Amino acid sequence: MDALVLEKKGELSLRDVALDETLGPRDVRIKLHTVGICGSDVHYYTHGGVGPFVVNAPMVLGHEASGTVIEVGSEVTTLAEGDRVCMEPGVPDPNSRATRLGKYNVDPAVRFWATPPVHGILRPTCVHPEAFTFKLPDNVSFAEAAMVEPLAVGIHAATKARVAPGDIGVVLGAGPIGLVTALSALAAGCAKVFVTDLSERKLEIAASLSQAIVPVPAKSGALKDRVMAETDGWGADVLFEASGAPAAAAGVFEPLAPGGCVVMIGGQAEPVAYDAGAAMVREARVENVFRYAHVFPRCVSMLSSGAIDVKPLITRTFGFDESVRAFEIAAEAPPADVKMQIELPQ
Protein backbone atom coordinates (compact mmCIF):
# COMPACT_ATOMS: atom_id res chain seq x y z
CA MET A 1 0.00 0.00 0.00
CA ASP A 2 1.13 3.59 -0.56
CA ALA A 3 2.19 5.39 2.62
CA LEU A 4 3.97 8.61 3.56
CA VAL A 5 7.44 7.38 4.46
CA LEU A 6 10.19 9.29 6.22
CA GLU A 7 13.18 7.67 4.48
CA LYS A 8 15.67 9.54 6.62
CA LYS A 9 16.13 13.03 8.06
CA GLY A 10 14.85 15.57 5.50
CA GLU A 11 13.61 13.01 2.96
CA LEU A 12 9.97 12.00 2.51
CA SER A 13 8.33 9.89 -0.14
CA LEU A 14 4.89 8.62 -0.96
CA ARG A 15 5.55 5.02 -1.90
CA ASP A 16 4.52 1.41 -1.54
CA VAL A 17 5.42 -0.16 1.80
CA ALA A 18 4.83 -3.73 2.93
CA LEU A 19 3.15 -3.58 6.35
CA ASP A 20 1.90 -6.39 8.57
CA GLU A 21 -1.84 -5.85 9.02
CA THR A 22 -2.83 -9.19 10.51
CA LEU A 23 -6.21 -8.89 12.25
CA GLY A 24 -6.20 -10.39 15.75
CA PRO A 25 -9.41 -11.50 17.53
CA ARG A 26 -9.65 -8.24 19.50
CA ASP A 27 -8.50 -5.94 16.68
CA VAL A 28 -10.36 -3.86 14.16
CA ARG A 29 -9.30 -2.95 10.64
CA ILE A 30 -9.75 0.74 9.91
CA LYS A 31 -9.89 2.68 6.69
CA LEU A 32 -8.17 5.95 7.58
CA HIS A 33 -9.97 9.20 6.80
CA THR A 34 -8.13 12.17 8.35
CA VAL A 35 -4.63 12.40 9.83
CA GLY A 36 -3.31 15.51 11.58
CA ILE A 37 0.28 16.66 11.14
CA CYS A 38 1.85 16.82 14.59
CA GLY A 39 4.89 18.80 15.69
CA SER A 40 6.59 15.49 16.46
CA ASP A 41 6.02 14.22 12.87
CA VAL A 42 7.58 17.43 11.57
CA HIS A 43 10.46 17.16 14.05
CA TYR A 44 11.25 13.62 12.87
CA TYR A 45 11.28 14.98 9.32
CA THR A 46 13.50 17.99 10.04
CA HIS A 47 15.78 16.51 12.75
CA GLY A 48 15.61 12.72 12.23
CA GLY A 49 14.56 12.17 15.83
CA VAL A 50 12.69 13.46 18.89
CA GLY A 51 14.67 13.28 22.13
CA PRO A 52 15.76 9.67 22.66
CA PHE A 53 13.74 8.40 19.65
CA VAL A 54 15.93 8.31 16.53
CA VAL A 55 14.83 7.29 13.03
CA ASN A 56 17.30 4.61 11.88
CA ALA A 57 15.10 2.99 9.22
CA PRO A 58 12.32 4.25 6.93
CA MET A 59 9.19 4.98 8.99
CA VAL A 60 5.59 5.85 8.09
CA LEU A 61 4.58 9.14 9.77
CA GLY A 62 1.29 10.19 11.41
CA HIS A 63 -0.49 9.39 14.67
CA GLU A 64 -3.49 11.75 14.95
CA ALA A 65 -6.21 9.89 13.15
CA SER A 66 -9.83 9.10 12.47
CA GLY A 67 -11.43 6.61 10.11
CA THR A 68 -14.04 3.95 9.52
CA VAL A 69 -14.07 0.37 10.77
CA ILE A 70 -14.06 -2.01 7.78
CA GLU A 71 -13.53 -5.36 9.56
CA VAL A 72 -13.69 -6.60 13.14
CA GLY A 73 -11.90 -9.49 14.87
CA SER A 74 -13.83 -12.53 16.09
CA GLU A 75 -13.97 -11.36 19.75
CA VAL A 76 -14.77 -7.68 19.15
CA THR A 77 -18.04 -6.65 20.85
CA THR A 78 -18.15 -2.84 21.00
CA LEU A 79 -17.45 -1.92 17.38
CA ALA A 80 -18.94 -2.95 14.06
CA GLU A 81 -18.18 -2.51 10.39
CA GLY A 82 -19.10 1.00 9.31
CA ASP A 83 -18.50 2.65 12.69
CA ARG A 84 -16.73 6.01 12.50
CA VAL A 85 -13.88 6.07 15.01
CA CYS A 86 -10.79 7.80 16.33
CA MET A 87 -7.79 5.93 17.64
CA GLU A 88 -5.45 6.30 20.57
CA PRO A 89 -1.99 5.84 19.03
CA GLY A 90 -0.14 4.34 21.99
CA VAL A 91 -0.76 0.69 22.82
CA PRO A 92 0.85 -0.58 26.04
CA ASP A 93 1.70 -4.11 27.06
CA PRO A 94 -1.55 -5.21 28.81
CA ASN A 95 0.44 -7.20 31.38
CA SER A 96 3.04 -4.59 32.24
CA ARG A 97 3.34 -3.22 35.75
CA ALA A 98 2.55 0.32 34.53
CA THR A 99 -0.60 -0.86 32.76
CA ARG A 100 -1.76 -2.86 35.78
CA LEU A 101 -1.29 0.30 37.89
CA GLY A 102 -3.46 2.30 35.43
CA LYS A 103 -0.51 4.33 34.18
CA TYR A 104 -0.29 2.73 30.77
CA ASN A 105 1.05 5.88 29.10
CA VAL A 106 4.31 5.54 31.03
CA ASP A 107 4.68 1.85 30.25
CA PRO A 108 8.25 1.58 28.89
CA ALA A 109 6.97 -1.06 26.44
CA VAL A 110 4.24 1.15 24.90
CA ARG A 111 4.13 0.99 21.10
CA PHE A 112 3.20 4.41 19.74
CA TRP A 113 2.47 5.20 16.10
CA ALA A 114 5.25 7.03 14.26
CA THR A 115 7.71 6.63 17.10
CA PRO A 116 10.68 4.53 15.92
CA PRO A 117 10.57 1.67 15.19
CA VAL A 118 6.72 1.71 15.04
CA HIS A 119 5.11 2.85 11.78
CA GLY A 120 2.49 5.60 11.78
CA ILE A 121 -0.81 5.75 9.93
CA LEU A 122 -0.39 8.09 6.94
CA ARG A 123 -1.55 5.13 4.85
CA PRO A 124 -4.90 3.80 3.58
CA THR A 125 -5.63 1.24 6.33
CA CYS A 126 -4.38 0.01 9.69
CA VAL A 127 -5.15 -2.64 12.30
CA HIS A 128 -5.68 -1.44 15.88
CA PRO A 129 -6.91 -2.93 19.19
CA GLU A 130 -10.63 -2.48 19.86
CA ALA A 131 -9.69 -1.20 23.35
CA PHE A 132 -7.87 1.81 21.89
CA THR A 133 -10.45 2.61 19.19
CA PHE A 134 -13.36 4.93 20.05
CA LYS A 135 -16.69 5.26 18.29
CA LEU A 136 -17.72 8.75 17.20
CA PRO A 137 -21.16 10.30 17.58
CA ASP A 138 -22.68 11.46 14.28
CA ASN A 139 -22.07 15.13 15.11
CA VAL A 140 -18.29 14.77 15.49
CA SER A 141 -16.58 15.08 12.09
CA PHE A 142 -13.55 13.07 10.99
CA ALA A 143 -11.51 16.31 11.07
CA GLU A 144 -12.54 17.04 14.68
CA ALA A 145 -11.94 13.41 15.61
CA ALA A 146 -8.38 13.61 14.32
CA MET A 147 -7.94 16.49 16.82
CA VAL A 148 -8.76 14.22 19.76
CA GLU A 149 -5.13 13.10 20.04
CA PRO A 150 -3.64 16.56 20.63
CA LEU A 151 -6.72 17.57 22.67
CA ALA A 152 -6.09 14.56 24.92
CA VAL A 153 -2.79 16.14 25.96
CA GLY A 154 -4.59 19.30 27.10
CA ILE A 155 -7.33 17.38 28.90
CA HIS A 156 -4.76 15.18 30.64
CA ALA A 157 -2.81 18.30 31.69
CA ALA A 158 -5.94 20.04 33.04
CA THR A 159 -6.80 16.86 34.93
CA LYS A 160 -3.32 16.69 36.45
CA ALA A 161 -3.58 20.37 37.44
CA ARG A 162 -6.84 19.60 39.30
CA VAL A 163 -8.39 22.82 38.00
CA ALA A 164 -11.17 24.13 40.25
CA PRO A 165 -14.06 26.34 39.07
CA GLY A 166 -12.95 29.95 38.92
CA ASP A 167 -9.23 29.26 38.83
CA ILE A 168 -6.98 31.68 37.00
CA GLY A 169 -4.85 29.87 34.42
CA VAL A 170 -1.75 30.61 32.40
CA VAL A 171 -0.56 28.78 29.29
CA LEU A 172 2.96 29.39 28.01
CA GLY A 173 3.00 28.81 24.23
CA ALA A 174 0.19 29.24 21.68
CA GLY A 175 1.02 26.34 19.36
CA PRO A 176 -1.55 23.57 18.85
CA ILE A 177 -0.84 22.01 22.25
CA GLY A 178 -0.89 25.37 24.04
CA LEU A 179 -4.25 26.21 22.46
CA VAL A 180 -5.91 22.87 23.23
CA THR A 181 -4.56 23.22 26.77
CA ALA A 182 -6.13 26.68 27.11
CA LEU A 183 -9.46 25.28 25.86
CA SER A 184 -9.13 22.32 28.24
CA ALA A 185 -8.36 24.59 31.21
CA LEU A 186 -11.46 26.67 30.42
CA ALA A 187 -13.62 23.58 30.01
CA ALA A 188 -12.28 22.34 33.36
CA GLY A 189 -13.50 25.53 35.00
CA CYS A 190 -10.88 28.25 34.72
CA ALA A 191 -12.45 31.72 34.83
CA LYS A 192 -9.72 33.15 32.64
CA VAL A 193 -6.61 31.85 30.91
CA PHE A 194 -3.65 34.09 30.04
CA VAL A 195 -1.86 32.78 26.94
CA THR A 196 1.59 33.97 26.03
CA ASP A 197 3.68 33.49 22.88
CA LEU A 198 6.37 35.30 20.88
CA SER A 199 4.15 35.31 17.77
CA GLU A 200 1.55 38.09 17.48
CA ARG A 201 -0.42 36.04 14.96
CA LYS A 202 -0.60 33.04 17.30
CA LEU A 203 -1.88 35.31 20.08
CA GLU A 204 -4.58 36.68 17.75
CA ILE A 205 -5.70 33.11 17.06
CA ALA A 206 -5.67 32.34 20.80
CA ALA A 207 -7.77 35.42 21.58
CA SER A 208 -10.29 34.49 18.87
CA LEU A 209 -11.08 31.17 20.57
CA SER A 210 -12.74 32.55 23.69
CA GLN A 211 -13.49 35.81 25.48
CA ALA A 212 -11.92 34.18 28.55
CA ILE A 213 -8.51 33.89 26.85
CA VAL A 214 -6.23 36.87 27.50
CA PRO A 215 -3.31 37.13 25.03
CA VAL A 216 -0.04 38.46 26.48
CA PRO A 217 3.06 38.98 24.29
CA ALA A 218 6.04 37.00 25.57
CA LYS A 219 8.30 39.85 26.68
CA SER A 220 10.41 39.94 29.79
CA GLY A 221 8.19 40.50 32.81
CA ALA A 222 5.02 41.23 30.79
CA LEU A 223 3.18 38.07 31.80
CA LYS A 224 3.95 38.34 35.50
CA ASP A 225 2.98 42.05 35.54
CA ARG A 226 -0.31 41.38 33.74
CA VAL A 227 -1.30 38.39 35.87
CA MET A 228 -0.44 40.16 39.11
CA ALA A 229 -2.30 43.32 37.99
CA GLU A 230 -5.46 41.28 37.31
CA THR A 231 -5.30 39.12 40.45
CA ASP A 232 -4.67 41.75 43.14
CA GLY A 233 -1.03 40.70 43.25
CA TRP A 234 -1.92 37.08 44.09
CA GLY A 235 -0.98 35.23 40.88
CA ALA A 236 -2.35 32.37 38.79
CA ASP A 237 -3.66 29.14 40.33
CA VAL A 238 -2.48 26.90 37.52
CA LEU A 239 0.23 27.35 34.91
CA PHE A 240 0.83 25.09 31.92
CA GLU A 241 4.25 25.14 30.22
CA ALA A 242 3.47 24.24 26.60
CA SER A 243 6.19 26.10 24.73
CA GLY A 244 9.11 23.73 25.18
CA ALA A 245 11.31 26.85 25.37
CA PRO A 246 14.01 26.69 28.08
CA ALA A 247 13.59 30.40 28.91
CA ALA A 248 9.84 29.99 29.43
CA ALA A 249 10.34 26.89 31.56
CA ALA A 250 12.82 28.76 33.75
CA GLY A 251 10.17 31.35 34.67
CA VAL A 252 7.17 29.14 35.43
CA PHE A 253 6.88 30.15 39.09
CA GLU A 254 6.99 33.91 38.53
CA PRO A 255 3.26 34.42 37.79
CA LEU A 256 2.16 31.56 40.08
CA ALA A 257 0.03 32.10 43.19
CA PRO A 258 0.98 30.63 46.57
CA GLY A 259 -0.10 26.98 46.58
CA GLY A 260 -0.42 27.00 42.80
CA CYS A 261 0.30 24.20 40.37
CA VAL A 262 2.65 24.09 37.39
CA VAL A 263 2.15 21.42 34.73
CA MET A 264 5.12 20.77 32.44
CA ILE A 265 3.88 19.72 28.98
CA GLY A 266 6.47 20.98 26.50
CA GLY A 267 9.34 18.62 25.76
CA GLN A 268 12.83 19.86 26.57
CA ALA A 269 15.86 18.60 24.69
CA GLU A 270 18.26 19.59 27.48
CA PRO A 271 17.95 20.02 31.26
CA VAL A 272 16.37 23.42 32.07
CA ALA A 273 16.76 25.87 34.94
CA TYR A 274 14.39 25.34 37.88
CA ASP A 275 13.89 28.12 40.43
CA ALA A 276 13.71 25.98 43.57
CA GLY A 277 13.48 29.03 45.83
CA ALA A 278 10.51 30.51 43.95
CA ALA A 279 8.81 27.10 44.01
CA MET A 280 9.45 26.70 47.74
CA VAL A 281 8.07 30.00 48.97
CA ARG A 282 4.83 29.24 47.08
CA GLU A 283 4.72 25.57 48.09
CA ALA A 284 4.16 25.06 44.37
CA ARG A 285 2.95 21.69 43.14
CA VAL A 286 4.68 20.56 39.94
CA GLU A 287 3.18 17.95 37.63
CA ASN A 288 4.55 16.41 34.45
CA VAL A 289 2.57 14.87 31.64
CA PHE A 290 3.68 12.28 29.11
CA ARG A 291 1.03 12.01 26.40
CA TYR A 292 -2.24 10.98 28.22
CA ALA A 293 -4.19 8.09 29.63
CA HIS A 294 -7.93 7.31 29.85
CA VAL A 295 -9.07 10.58 28.25
CA PHE A 296 -10.08 9.79 24.64
CA PRO A 297 -13.74 9.04 25.48
CA ARG A 298 -13.93 12.26 27.53
CA CYS A 299 -12.53 14.26 24.62
CA VAL A 300 -15.03 12.73 22.19
CA SER A 301 -17.89 13.53 24.60
CA MET A 302 -16.75 17.14 24.96
CA LEU A 303 -16.52 17.63 21.19
CA SER A 304 -19.96 16.13 20.77
CA SER A 305 -21.60 18.25 23.47
CA GLY A 306 -19.89 21.46 22.37
CA ALA A 307 -18.02 21.83 25.68
CA ILE A 308 -14.90 22.18 23.55
CA ASP A 309 -14.73 23.38 19.94
CA VAL A 310 -11.52 22.49 18.08
CA LYS A 311 -12.79 23.44 14.60
CA PRO A 312 -11.11 26.90 14.61
CA LEU A 313 -7.75 25.19 15.18
CA ILE A 314 -7.92 23.26 11.90
CA THR A 315 -6.46 25.79 9.48
CA ARG A 316 -5.50 23.76 6.38
CA THR A 317 -6.40 20.44 4.80
CA PHE A 318 -4.36 18.63 2.14
CA GLY A 319 -5.08 15.59 -0.01
CA PHE A 320 -3.01 12.46 0.60
CA ASP A 321 -1.26 12.94 -2.77
CA GLU A 322 -0.05 16.34 -1.46
CA SER A 323 1.43 14.84 1.73
CA VAL A 324 5.08 15.60 1.00
CA ARG A 325 4.22 19.21 0.13
CA ALA A 326 2.11 19.45 3.29
CA PHE A 327 5.11 18.47 5.41
CA GLU A 328 7.36 20.94 3.59
CA ILE A 329 4.86 23.69 4.42
CA ALA A 330 4.47 22.48 8.01
CA ALA A 331 8.26 22.49 8.42
CA GLU A 332 8.25 26.21 7.62
CA ALA A 333 5.83 26.72 10.54
CA PRO A 334 3.55 29.30 8.88
CA PRO A 335 2.51 31.69 11.67
CA ALA A 336 -1.18 31.72 10.66
CA ASP A 337 -1.52 27.94 10.82
CA VAL A 338 -2.40 25.91 13.89
CA LYS A 339 -3.26 22.36 12.78
CA MET A 340 -2.82 21.05 9.27
CA GLN A 341 -4.51 17.80 8.32
CA ILE A 342 -4.28 15.29 5.51
CA GLU A 343 -7.35 13.53 4.09
CA LEU A 344 -6.99 10.01 2.73
CA PRO A 345 -8.93 9.05 -0.42
CA GLN A 346 -12.21 7.32 0.51
The DSSP line for 133-184 is: EEEPPTTS-HHHHTTHHHHHHHHHHHHHHT--TT-EEEEE--SHHHHHHHHH
Identify which range of 3-11, 31-39, 217-225, 228-236 contacts Zn ion by CB under 5 A.
31-39
Closer residue to Zn ion, CB minimum distance, 148 or 284:
148
Please, which residues bridge with residue 264 across strands?
Answer: 241, 288
Which segment (14-22, 35-43, 127-135, 205-213) binds Zn ion by CB under 5 A? Answer: 35-43
- Which amino acid is it at 162? R
For residue 64, the minimal CB distance to Zn ion (Å) is 5
Q: Which is nearer to Zn ion, 4 or 257 (CB)?
A: 4
Alpha helices in the chain (DSSP H): 39-47, 97-100, 142-145, 148-161, 176-187, 200-209, 222-230, 246-250, 276-282, 296-305, 323-331
- Contacts with Zn ion, 47-86, as mask; x by CB under 5 A: -----------------x----------------------
Looking at the chain, the number of H-run helices and the number of E-run strands are 11, 20
One-letter identity of residue 336: A
Number of residues counted as binding Zn ion (CB under 5 A): 2
Residue whose C-beta lies closest to Zn ion: 38
Give dist(CA 179, CA 154) in Å, integer: 8
Q: Sign (positive/negative) of CA torsion 160, 165, 167, 168? A: positive
User: Can you tell me which of 4, 38, 289, 344 binds Zn ion, judged by CB under 5 A?
Assistant: 38
| Cα distance between residue 63 and residue 326, in whole Å | 15
Nearest residue (CB) to Zn ion, 24 versus 51: 51
CB-nearer residue toward Zn ion: 64 or 237: 64
Task: Tell me the closest approach of the beta carbon of residue 149 to Zn ion, in angstroms.
Answer: 5
Q: CB 151 → Zn ion: shortest distance, Å?
A: 10
Looking at 2-10, 33-41, 174-182, 282-290, which segment touches Zn ion (CB under 5 A)?
Answer: 33-41
38 vs 187 by CB, closer to Zn ion: 38
What is the contact surface with Zn ion in residues (CB under 5 A)? 38, 64
